[in-house]
Structure 1
C-alpha cells in the first residue's frame, strides 16, 4: 500500500513514519513517497527516516520527489501537510495582525484567515489533481487551518477527504488519565469545529465521569486545560474547551502576551527549524538525534504565551505527550484499508450532526470509520453560547472560501470583519492590505 506525504520535507514527517514502522499487520503501508517543493528539506527528512528505519525489518521503502503528479500516481492514501508560504509566512501573519492589535495565530482569527486565503487555492489544485490522478485514493488532511482546508477539498473529493487534528485527542487523553481511566478505552464526547470544540463528557465503562471531574476543584486544576482556563471558568462552562478557545475566552490577555513576547511562535519555529535543516546540510550530522532534540524543544514551548497569560507556568511532563496525530492517521488508514471499525475524532462533513449547520459544513466530531470512510456520530446539541460561536466562525470560513474562489478583495475584507476576534471593519481593511503586501501569493485578491 502506498502512502504519499505532501509536505514531505516537513519537520513532523518522522512522527508519521515512526507510526508506520510500528505497524506489522497485514495490508500495512509498504511504500512512502515524500513530496515537497524544497529538495534540500526532502533530503534532510529522508535522512531522519533512514536512521529511524535502520535495523527495522520490512520498513516501508521511502522515495522522494519534487514532482507532484509523480507523487500522486499510484497512491492509496495521500497525507497532506503542506505549509504555503513556509514558516516565514506564518511569522508575517502574526506580525501583521499584532500590529493592528488583533490575534495573529495561524488557525485562529486574522492569522488563520490570512493563512486560509493563501492555502485554499493550493489545496483546491491538489484536490483536483488527486481526483484526476488517484481517484480511488483517500486524502488525510492535516494542513491548517484544517477544517477550512478540508471543506475546500471536499468540494472536489467529497467524503474521500478527511481532516485530522491531534488537539482533541490530546485533551481526551489528559482528561481520561486524570480520571484514572485508560485513554485508549474512554469515549470522548466532543464536538465543534477544528480548534473550536468542547469536551462535554468522557465515558469510562459506559459511565460519564466528567461530572466527577468538574465537582473536584483539585482534580480539575491538575492538568493543562485546568491551569490554562482556570477551575472556576471550566465549572461555569460545564465542559472542557479545546485549548485554542483560550484565544477567544481570554483574547485581550493572549494578544498582550504575544505583543510582549520576544518573538512570536511562528518566528521561533522559523528560526528553530532553519537551524535544524542547516545542521542536516552537513553530511556527517546525526539526523535522528538532531531531530529528537529539536522536537523536544518545540513541544516544551507550545502555547507558551497563553500559559504565561494564564499564570499556568511551564508545561508539566505528563502534558508533553503528543495528542498523536500520526497515530490517528494510522488508525484511520487501517480502519479504511482493512474495514476495521474504529471510533476517532475527525474533521468531516456535518450531515445532520449539528442542526445549526448545513450538511456540507465540515465539523470536528467523533466518527465511526470503516471501509466506506468516516461517518459522524450523533451528538447532543451544543449550548447556545457555543452554537453561536461555531456558526459565526463557520460563516467566516465560508467567506474565505468565497474570496479564494472569486479573488474578491471585498469578500476577503468581509471575512476578516465578521470574525469575532476582529473588532472593526477599518481594521479588517488594513489587515487585507497588510497581508497583500506581505504575501505575493495574495495578489489574486482584487477589486
Structure 2
C-alpha cells in the first residue's frame, strides 16, 4: 500500500533528520514515497539535501522512492502526510527580527518578542495558501507543522483555513523529557511529564518515572543549575525562590519572560561582540551544507544537533507513525484545547499531552491553570490571538496592539518604533500589510 510523505521546506538543513526518522521507523511506518519541496530561492540547497537523502535511503536498503521538486501542487497529489518546516525570508529575515529590536533595547528572539510576531506575520499567508492546496488536492492528509512560532501558526490554520487536520509539534517538551531523564539517570521512555500551557510557554506540572512521582527531586535539581536548554538558548539558571514559589518546571524559553533584564543584557553584549544568533546559524548552515555535499556522507551528521531545532523532525516522525498505526500512545503536541484547560477557549491551541489516534490528537484534561501561572498564560494566549488577527487582517492597528501586548515589548513608543522598522524591513514578505 502506498504511503506518501511530502516535506515542505525540503531544502532545510533539518531534512536529513526527517529522512533518518522515516528510515528508522520504516518497519512500522512503511513510507513508499518521499517528496521534498522548496521554492526557487532554495533550489541549490534542495538539490544538495535531495542527493544526501538519496544516499541515506540507499544505505538503509529501504524501498523508498525519493524525489525533489519546486512544483508544490504536483508534489501534494496523493500525499498522506505533509510536514512544514519553512522560514519565509530565510535566515536574513531572522537576522532582521533579532537585530532591529535589539538596536532599540528590546529582546529580538526569533519566536518570542517582536521577532516572533514578524515571523508569524510572514508565515501565516504562506501556510494559509499551502493549507488551501492540501484541502483541495489531498484533503485527507495530515499537516504536521513545525514551522515556528508553532502554536500561533497551528492556531491560525485551524481557525482560518479550511483544512482542519493540522497538528503542531515542538522539540522543547522532547528536550525537557530527555534532560530530566539524564539528571535522574533513567531512560527517557520511563519519564512522563504532565505539560500545561502553550508552545514556548509550557510548564511541567508533574514528573513521573515509571509511575512514581519525582517532581520535587527534579525541582531540587533545577535549583542546582540543571540545563535542559536547546543549542540556541544559553541557560541562566533559576533561583531557589522562583522554583519554590512556582512549583512547576519552567522551560528554557521562560527566561525571556522571567529573567528579561538579564537576558537583554546578555543578548546585547553578544550582539555587539559576535552578531546575532541568526548570523551564527548562517555560519553553521554553511558548514553543514559543506558536509552535506560530501558524496561519502550517508548519515545525518552529528553537527546538526548544534541547531536549536534539533529533534523537531524526530518528534514529527513519531507523530506520523502513531497516527498511521492508531497507536493511542501519549505525545505532547499543539492542538485544540477542547476543554483540557478550562481557563482557555475551546478553540485555542495549547501544548499538551494527548492520546494520538488515527483521527488525530485527543488532549488529556489538565484542569484549571495553577494560580502561579494563570495570569501569564491567559495573557499570552490573548497576545497570540491578537498576532493571528493582525497576521490575517493586515491591519496596522491590529499589529501595533499585538506588539504592545507582547510581554517583551509593552512600551507605547518603542512598540511603534520597532513595528515600523520591521514592517519596512520585511515589506517584500508581508502582502497582507501592503
Q: SS of 1:355's equivalent? A: coil
238-247 or 202-211, larger mean C-alpha shift: 202-211
After superposition, the Cα gap between the structure-2 partners of 1:213 and 1:63, relative to the gap in structure 1 and judged at 3 Å, is same
CA distance in 2, matches of 1:293, 1:205: 30
Contact 1:331 1:342 in 2 (8 A): no
After superposition, the Cα gap between the structure-2 partners of 1:350 and 1:119, relative to the gap in structure 1 and judged at 3 Å, is same
Corresponding position of 1:403: 390
CA distance in 2, matches of 1:222, 1:422: 29
Corresponding position of 1:309: none
- How far off is 1:216 after superposition? 5.8
Contact 2:143 2:166 in 1 (8 A): yes
For the aligned residue pairs, the C-alpha RMSD in angstroms reads 2.2
Contact 1:163 1:348 in 2 (8 A): yes
Q: What stretches of structure 1 of length at least 5 have no aligned partner?
A: 303-321
Matched, 1:269 2:256: no
Corresponding position of 2:25: 23
**What's the CA shift string for 1:334-362, capped at 9, x where partnerless?**
22112111100000001101112111110
CA distance in 2, matches of 1:186, 1:330: 20
**What's the CA shift string for 1:129-188, capped at 9, x where partnerless?**
111111000010000000000111112256410000111111012113322333113221
CA distance in 2, matches of 1:127, 1:331: 22
After superposition, the Cα gap between the structure-2 partners of 1:217 and 1:190, relative to the gap in structure 1 and judged at 3 Å, is closer
Corresponding position of 1:214: 219
CA distance in 2, matches of 1:279, 1:212: 41
After superposition, the Cα gap between the structure-2 partners of 1:416 and 1:32, relative to the gap in structure 1 and judged at 3 Å, is same
268-277 or 405-414, larger mean C-alpha shift: 268-277
Corresponding position of 1:240: 249
Corresponding position of 1:88: 92
**What's the CA shift string for 1:307-335, capped at 9, x where partnerless?**
xxxxxxxxxxxxxxx87333322221122
Q: What stretches of structure 2 of length at least 5 have no aligned partner?
A: none
Matched, 1:8 2:10: yes
CA distance in 2, matches of 1:217, 1:10: 34
- How far off is 1:2 after superposition? 0.3
- How far off is 1:117 after superposition? 0.8
Matched, 1:292 2:301: yes
Q: SS of 2:327's equivalent? A: coil
CA distance in 1, matches of 2:76, 2:183: 43
Contact 1:178 1:223 in 2 (8 A): no
CA distance in 1, matches of 2:265, 2:12: 30
**What's the CA shift string for 1:396-431, capped at 9, x where partnerless?**
221221112221111101100111110312111111
TM-score by length of 1: 0.88
After superposition, the Cα gap between the structure-2 partners of 1:68 and 1:331, relative to the gap in structure 1 and judged at 3 Å, is same
52-61 or 328-337, larger mean C-alpha shift: 52-61
Q: Mapping of 1:160-179 within 5 angstroms?
A: 160-179=165-184
CA distance in 1, matches of 2:279, 2:377: 29
Matched, 1:62 2:66: yes
Q: Mapping of 1:350-365 within 5 angstroms?
A: 350-365=337-352
- How far off is 1:83 after superposition? 0.7
Q: SS of 1:423's equivalent? A: coil
Q: SS of 1:348's equivalent? A: strand
Q: Mapping of 1:48-447 within 5 angstroms?
A: 48-155=52-159, 156-157=161-162, 159-215=164-220, 220-224=224-228, 228-232=236-240, 233-261=242-270, 262-277=274-289, 286-287=296-297, 292=301, 294-296=303-305, 298-299=306-307, 302=308, 324-439=311-426, 440-442=428-430, 444-445=432-433
Contact 1:159 1:348 in 2 (8 A): no
CA distance in 1, matches of 2:298, 2:282: 19
CA distance in 2, matches of 1:208, 1:279: 44
Contact 1:279 1:285 in 2 (8 A): no
TM-score by length of 2: 0.91
CA distance in 1, matches of 2:398, 2:147: 23
**What's the CA shift string for 1:81-134, capped at 9, x where partnerless?**
111110100001001111121111111011100111111111111111111111
Contact 1:159 1:373 in 2 (8 A): no
Contact 1:103 1:109 in 2 (8 A): yes
Residue correspondences, number = 420
Contact 1:186 1:203 in 2 (8 A): yes
CA distance in 2, matches of 1:287, 1:79: 24
